[in-house]
Structures are given as structure tokens and as C-alpha cells.
Structure 1
Amino acid sequence: MSMTINMPLGDLIDKSPKGEARFAHEEWLRTYVKRLTKGNKTKLKQALNEVDEAINQWRNGFFISTYDEKLSAVRQGKLNMDSQELEDIYNEETYLQKEGKTGLVADFLYDSIAQYGFINEHHRDAIESAWLFHDMEFLQQQWEYYALAQIRSLRAVIVSMLGTVPTTPETEPQNAKREPKRIEDYPEVFDITLYCELTNYAKDTIYKWTRTREIPCHRSGTNGRKLVFKRDEIVAWMTARKQETKDEFIKRMES
């Protein structure tokens, strides 16, 4: 839809996550913010706070829904859970829905990402693997990346005009410095998150390798949807891989 340069900031923020502001390229946004704030730093900071609050409110409007999947698994005899436990999950999700929150399921996230479009075949493989292994965290992360693309562009313009180092909303995870772990500190069996931490590979790379059977992995959990790795197998796999050259290491770290 066409947008006017006089549109109130609240309207633009509201339209962005809905995909209704997808034509607001950076130069348009820069002109818009200049007109809105006249370059005044106080107004720029107010605009930044309004954008960050909108991002946080949008994220808080969703939750991961598990009731239908667990109910189906119980009926198929693949999950041991009594009726009271199921009822507690149902009541909790019903309460969240009454608060206006939307329950996210894997199929919805996969379909939404597919509508935005895959970057390439490698990305498609990663998303399909995440859907297959029910990695809701990865799917939600990818979906948010697309859904918030425009509002993040608006935020970046405001930050650049403030002349400050880009910051992130308080609810976003921060990369805190941690003491490196020894191999022995990892459990004998762990999930893909710890695998990323151990090897420094990205999730989409790991999913690609699981599809091509380049790395040892196992399925567990409900319907075999959880992807797990055995520490000894991964150590042996890492040891067997050829030693990376300096250039290969730099390329992997940059990607």
C-alpha cells in the first residue's frame, strides 16, 4: 500500500510487522524520520523507545503451543502423560489466548517462512529440518527475522541518526562472555543448542549435515522429533575431520 511521509509513527510501527509497510525502503525511512523528529536527539530517542516497546510487545503477543501435539502423542501411546497434566497445559494455553496471545505451532511457522521465501536451497533445507525436528526456537527466530524486517530497518535508521552504536531491545538475548568449557563438561547426550556451542557451527549448517548424514545424530522424544547428539561420537567426528586452514577457519567464523 502507498504510505505518506506524514504518517504518524504509531501507524507505521503497527503496519510494519503485518507486512503492510514492506515498500518503505531505507531512503524513504530516513526522510520520514527526519521529517518526524527534525533531527532532534530527544525526539529521536523517544522514537527509538517507541519502536523498541513495539518490538517487545509484538514478541510478547505469542507463545509456543504444545497442547495439540502432546495430546496426539498421548493418544498414540508415544507419550506418558496423565489427564491432569494435559488439562494443566490446556488451561494455561487457554488463559494465554484469553489475554490476546497467539499460540505458535511448527506448521504455522514453516508456512509463514515459506510465504516470505527461502534465501536459497541451503536455507530451505535448514527450515525443513527444523520443522521435521520440531525446533520451535529456530523456526520462531527465522519467522521473527522476516516479520520484523521492516521495523528493524526503521530502528536502524533512527539509531544511525542518533549517532550511537546500535543497541538491542532489552528482551533480546545478549552475547555475554563465558568461560570456555572443556569437552568433559558437556553431558554424554545433548541437543543441537549445545552442539552449536561446542563446535561453533550455526544451526542451519548442522541441519544441513543431518540431512546429508555427514554427522552422527539420533532422534528421540515425541514422534522422534528431538534431535540429539552423543558427545563421544561428535568428538570422534570432529577429530576425524581434516584440519582447517587459516582461511577456512576465518571463512567459517565469518559465516
Structure 2
Amino acid sequence: MYMTTNMPLGGLIDKSLKGEARTAHKEWLRTYIKRLTKGNKAKLQQALNEVDDAINQWRDNYFISTYEEKLVAARQGKLNMDNRDLEEVYNEEEYLHKEGKIGLVADFLYEAIAKHGFINEYHRDAIESAWLFHDMEFLRMQWEYYALAQIRSLREVICSMLGVVPTTVENEQQTANRPPKRIEDYPEVFGIELCCELTNYAKDTIYKWTRTREIPCHRSGTNGRKLVFKRDEIVKWLTARKQETKDEFIKRMETELAAKSSTLYNNPKKFKKHD
């Protein structure tokens, strides 16, 4: 169906979520929203709420499927789960399937991202590492970036007409009131999320360095897929990288950590090349 400025907003949202709104460039979207709302702030806010509701409903259609992986790991003796435990996981996922939800697995997400194409060699390394280490959270975020690209453009246009910054739709808890961390507040061993937080490097950069062995890391979990880092090794590595003494590094890092409250250390929707 050819898109016109007379199309109901619900129709455009549906086409955007299905990836069928390829001709809807931002100027067309701006003209469409102007015609739809006539610049009325209340109508613009209503349109933004409708878009956000549609995005959240779309996200609710998917879940991370873990049954097959847990089954294989249990059979190999790498996961302590008996038949009853596995049956519970299976039944839970079957229930979600019957509700019409779609289970996401690493191979599907990787292939979907690869089909759209990688931003650069660093992005490709990050996606391949996430697939290898079974980082479903990162893979899903990257996949959603592409899958929601068209409706995100619509949302950005509405936000610009409202005069607000187009923040992402998040269901995560606010971090503004969390107390600042000191170096010793970090556990002795942690995963990639805390590594990103401590080092202030993006996840794709950390993944790249794990592949090239430029950062100290270890593997654990099922098939050695999980990346773990030791706090003392990371502090020592950062100290050498920054060419600072350990005391200078700790003092600087504590100052930086104390100044950060609600800022996210790793934004997966911004593909930037880091040094």
C-alpha cells in the first residue's frame, strides 16, 4: 500500500514496525505529523505516547529462549539441572509460545544483524564476539536497533516538534540515585557490564580487545562462553594504559565515578569507534 499523508497514525506505526515504511524519509514524516497534529502540543504528545506504546508492545512479543542451550549443557554435565528443572524451563517457554510470543536465540539474532550489515570492523567484531560468548542482551539490543530504525525516525520527528530530546524507550530502573562506586566497591571478579562501567569503554571495544587479547580476561560458564574479568588485573591494565601510578589512577577513577550518576556507560545504540 502506498503511503500518503492521510494514512492513520496506527497504519504508519504498523508499517514501520514491519519494516515497510522505507519511503518515509524524515521530511515526509515531518509533513505527515504536521498534517496529523497541526502542531498542537497535546496531539503531538498523544502521538508520541501511541508510538511508545507500540514499541513496548512490539518488544513484549519476544523473549530470550534458553531451553535448548540448557538441555545441551545439562546432557554434557556442564549444568546442574535435572529433568524436572528442564521440564519447567520447557513448559514456561511453551506457554509463552502459545501466547504468540517469539523465542529469540543467538543464531537468529546474529543472522538478522548480519543481514542488515555491520557498521564497521569493530562492530562486526563485537557482534561476532557476542554471538560466540552468547551475550543475548547485547545481541538483542543490536537487533532492536535495526528492527526499530524506521519507527525510531518517526519518534525523533515527533520529539523534535515537541521540542524535547528523543531519549530511548527504556523499562530499566533509574540509576540517578545510586551512590557512586569506589574501586574497592567492585567485586573481585565481574562480567563485561561492570568491566565497561569501570573502564568507561563501550562493550564493542571490550569485545574487540578480548578477541585480540589486548585486555586481561577469562572464560567460564557453559562451553567457556562467559567472559569474566578480575578487578586487580583490570586496574593494573588500566594503570599501565593510562601511564599513571596506581594511586593516581584510583584517585582519578574515583573522581570520575563520583561525578557519574544517571549516565549510561555503554549505549549500544551509538556505534562509535573508540581508541
* Stretches of structure 1 lacking an aligned partner (at least 5 in a row): 245-251
> Over residues 22-43 of structure 1, what are the superposed CA-to-partner deviations in whole Å (9 max), with x where a residue is unaligned?
2311001001111111212222
- Runs of 4 or more, structure 1, over 6 Å off, are none
1:78 alignment counterpart: 78
- CA distance, structure 2, for counterparts of residue 106 and residue 173 of structure 1: 26
User: What residue number does 1:5 align with?
Assistant: 5
2:150 aligns with 150
Aligned to 1:62: 62
Task: Report the secondary structure of 1:178's partner residue.
Answer: coil
Deviations 1:150-195 (A, max 9, x none): 1111011111112234344352564525332122111111100111
* Residue equivalent to 1:113: 113
TM-superposed CA distance for 1:239, in Å, is 1.4
Distance 2:75 2:91 in 1: 19
Q: 1:187 to 1:101 in 2, by over 3 A?
A: same
1:87 aligns to 2:58 (yes or no): no
Point out the more displaced range, 113-122 or 160-169: 160-169
SS of aligned partner of 2:17: coil
Matches within 5 A, 1:160-239: 160-169=160-169, 171=171, 174=174, 176-239=176-239
Q: Which moved more, 1:2-11 or 1:170-179?
A: 170-179
Give the SS at the match of 1:241.
helix
Match of 1:133 in 2: 133
What is residue 100 of structure 2 aligned with on the other side? Answer: 100
1:80 is paired with a residue whose SS is: coil
Give the drift of 1:17. 2.1
Q: Deviations along 1:60-100, whole A, 9 cap, x unmatched?
A: 11111000011011122222210111011111111111111
Over aligned residue pairs, what C-alpha RMSD do you find? 2.1
Match of 2:259 in 1: none
Question: Are residues 126 and 222 of structure 1, via their aligned partners in 2, closer, same or farther at CA, if it must alter by over 3 Å?
Answer: same
Q: Over residues 131-158 of structure 1, what are the superposed CA-to-partner deviations in whole Å (9 max), with x where a residue is unaligned?
A: 0011111111111111111111101111
Q: Paired residue for 2:252?
A: none
Three-state SS of the structure 2 residue aligned to 1:184 is helix
1:110-137 CA distance string (max 9 Å, x none): 0110111101111100100010011111
1:22 is matched with: 22
| C-alpha distance in structure 2 between counterparts of 1:189 and 1:133, whole Å | 17
Tell me the residue number matched to 2:258: none
- Count of paired positions: 249
Return the letter of the residue paired with 1:34: K
Q: CA deviation at 1:4?
A: 1.9
- Relative distance call for 1:168 and 1:128 in structure 2 (3 A) is closer
Go from structure 1 to structure 2 and tell me whether the alpha carbon gap of 1:170 and 1:204 turns closer, same or farther (over 3 Å shift): closer
Identify if the C-alpha distance between structure 1 residues 167 and 132 changes in structure 2 by more than 3 Å, giving closer, same or farther.
closer
Please give the alpha-carbon distance, in whole angstroms, between the structure 2 residues aligned to 1:163 and 1:57. Answer: 25
CA–CA distance in structure 2, aligned partners of residues 21 and 225 of structure 1: 38
Percent identical residues: 80
